[in-house]
Chain A
């Protein structure tokens, strides 16, 4: 579904991604793990079309989207869950949910979102930034599900969440996967990652250092945790 070939990215003079190539098949959940600064978020931003300084190719369903602006990519079915949760202070919770157009074959209705997230329903007319951190994370996920996005790009959706909410995020991603949604996930929580994902890429200094499956991550968990510095 998603194919990245020889992707390099720059911040001014500094190179943060070096010839990254990877693939995500339809219906897969794939994580990117790596230390802070390894280029994980930049990789997601490149796929979304939000990073100006890049070289290489990004393909979606066999179509080269490298030159497409972000809004066109979103309309092809990319759903962006930014690391800061992307809540709009000047939009209500409902408006945050309905801002993006529906782009996929199977969008959630607003009713379904509110049924799944009663807390969002209670606060539906509040400014989104008035929600708690966990609620804002749910809002960010609910938003891309309501879009009907086919490929979710999730940047650390569990960061700063309580164990209960982490589990809820996991349930959501697994449910999305059951409905055929593909997910590319930046994640530091290895336990969470092996619980939701099929495969993992370890990024180090802007390169894909290793590709691993769940059993490999589990068996090397201590070594990886030490490497990640967690």
Chain B
């Protein structure tokens, strides 16, 4: 029983990262119709930024948790204004070329300066140790990640469903032209939404630094699964991306624990699930067929 609880808990913690990254991809895709293949690179920059801030400037984890998302969000807004916005009228192939190219540039810039080896990042002292909820000792830091991610997802959901900003973002996402005809300057919301999505990736990166190896390729490894998550949840579906994020975290953890005798199955289970979902619901679990613009 405690083994199962532990696997479930670990699955939810990985799921928290998937959810945060997929949520950012979903809001960006919804608003810009751009699939941001550079999302993993910004996650990596979040983690690396926290590492550099700590080792070279003595900036603690908590400050990095604020500085990196804001800084990367601003960088994302600058990139959107400089290049990303040009993608809207182009063939989707350019979307892939540009954002994948950005990934390679960002990864290699970090490699040039810091090499490819992984760097350790100490767990903040406030969150070291473990807590016991009866079943087993939960590492405090992971409990924090899970709680923080859930809180953040709920906050984003609240803003999107309960505020005027959220209403404008939903309307612009669903039918941009129509929304313009109702007096809303849709273009004004595109840059902040892109920055917000990038900021979330940066935040996930900072959260990952103390528990995952910090290296230039950490985002590339993760992002493949995140794209499977986004496809399963339904491209552009906010709720779907979060639900699928946690769901895939669980599937992966259970797969690794109980199918470890069949490594082929446990390593590919995410993609098997993805293929199955797509056969059953081509627009993803919570996706809708594209409405006409």
Partner-B contacts on A (CB < 8 A):
48-50, 69-71, 74-75, 78, 80, 82, 84, 86, 88-91, 95, 98-101, 103, 143, 147
| CB-contact partner of B288 in A71, A86, A89, under 8 A | A89
Question: With A71-B185, A71-B186 in contact, is A90–B180 under 8 Å at CB?
Answer: no
Q: Does B277 contact A (CB under 8 A)?
A: no
B177 surroundings in chain A (CB, below 8 A): 50, 70
Contact with A along B174-205 (1 / 0, CB 8 A): 11011111111110000000000000000000
Decide: B178 and A91 in contact? CB cutoff 8 A: no
Q: Is the Cβ of B170 less than 8 Å from the Cβ of A88?
A: yes
CB-nearest residue of chain A relative to B182? A100
What mask results when residues 145 to 172 of chain B are scored 1 for a CB within 8 Å of chain A, else 0?
Answer: 0000000000000000000000110110
CB pair A101 B174 closer than 8 Å = no
> Which residue numbers of B lie inside 8 Å of A, CB to CB?
167-168, 170-171, 173-175, 177-186, 288, 291-292
CA–CA, A61 to B203, complex, Å? 51
Contact call A71/B170, Cβ cutoff below 8 A: no
Of B175, B181, B292, which one neighbours A88 at CB under 8 angstroms? B175
Please determine whether A90 and B182 come into contact, CB atoms closer than 8 angstroms: no
Contact status B184-A71, CB under 8 Å: yes
Q: How far is the CA of A99 from the CA of B169 in the complex (A)?
A: 11
Top 5 closest A-B pairs, CB basis? Answer: A74-B183, A100-B182, A70-B180, A80-B181, A90-B170
Q: List, in ascending order, chain B residues with CB within 8 A of A48's CB.
A: 181
Residues from chain A with a CB closer than 8 A to the CB of B170 are 88, 90-91
Specify which chain B residues have a CB less than 8 angstroms from the CB of A50 in the assembled complex.
177, 180-181
Given the complex of chains A and B, what is the CA–CA distance between A53 and B171 in angstroms?
25
22 A-B pairs in the complex with CB atoms less than 8 angstroms apart: A49-B181, A70-B177, A70-B181, A71-B180, A71-B181, A71-B184, A74-B181, A74-B183, A75-B183, A78-B181, A82-B178, A86-B175, A88-B171, A88-B174, A90-B170, A90-B173, A91-B167, A98-B167, A99-B167, A99-B171, A101-B183, A143-B182
Chain A residues near B175 (CB, 8 Å)? Answer: 86, 88
A143 to B182, CA, bound (A): 9
Write out the residue numbers on chain A whose beta carbons fall within 8 Å of the beta carbon of B185. 69, 71
Interface residues of B: mostly helix, strand, loop or mixed?
helix
CA distance in complex: A101, B181 (Å): 11
Q: Are B182 and A74 in contact (CB under 8 A)?
A: yes
Q: Which residue of B lies closest to A100 (CB)?
A: B182
Contact between chains at A99 and B181 (CB < 8 Å): no
Q: What's the nearest-Cβ distance from chain B to residue A99, in Å?
A: 5
The complex places the Cα of A91 from the Cα of B179 at a distance, in Å, of 12
Q: Which residues of A contact B183 (CB under 8 A)?
A: 71, 74-75, 100-101, 103, 147
| Contact between B288 and A99, CB atoms less than 8 A apart | no
Q: Tell me, in angstroms, the Cα distance from A69 to B180 when the chains sit together.
A: 8
Kindly state the separation between the CA atoms of A88 and B288 in the bound complex, as whole angstroms: 13
Known: A95-B167, A99-B167, A99-B168. A89 touches B180 (CB 8 A): no
Alpha-carbon distance between A69 and B171 when the two chains are bound, in angstroms? 18
Specify which chain B residues have a CB less than 8 angstroms from the CB of A143 in the assembled complex: 182
Tell me the minimal C-beta distance from A197 to chain B in angstroms. Answer: 23
A8 to B159, CA, bound (A): 43
CA gap between A50 and B177 in the complex, in Å: 7
A86 to B292, CA, bound (A): 10
Tell whether, in the assembled complex, residue B178 and residue A86 are in contact, meaning their CB atoms are under 8 Å apart: yes
Interfacial chain A residues near B292, Cβ < 8 Å: 84
Complex alpha-carbon distance, A224 and B209, angstroms: 74
Chain B residues near A75 (CB-CB < 8 A): 183
Minimum distance in angstroms from B225 CB to a CB of chain A: 27
- Bound-state CA distance A78–B178 (Å) is 13
What's the minimum C-beta distance from A53 to chain B, rounded to whole angstroms? 14
Q: Which residues of A contact B168 (CB under 8 A)?
A: 99
Closest-CB distance, A91 to chain B (whole angstroms)? 6
Bound Cα distance A147, B291 (Å) = 24
* Known contacts A95-B167, A99-B168, A99-B179; is-contact A90 B184 (Cβ 8 Å): no
Among the interface residues B170, B175, B178, B182, which one has the most CB atoms of the partner chain A within 10 A? B182
Known pairs A88-B170, A91-B171. 14 more at Cβ < 8 A? A49-B181, A71-B183, A71-B184, A75-B183, A78-B181, A80-B181, A80-B182, A84-B292, A88-B175, A90-B173, A95-B167, A98-B167, A100-B183, A101-B184
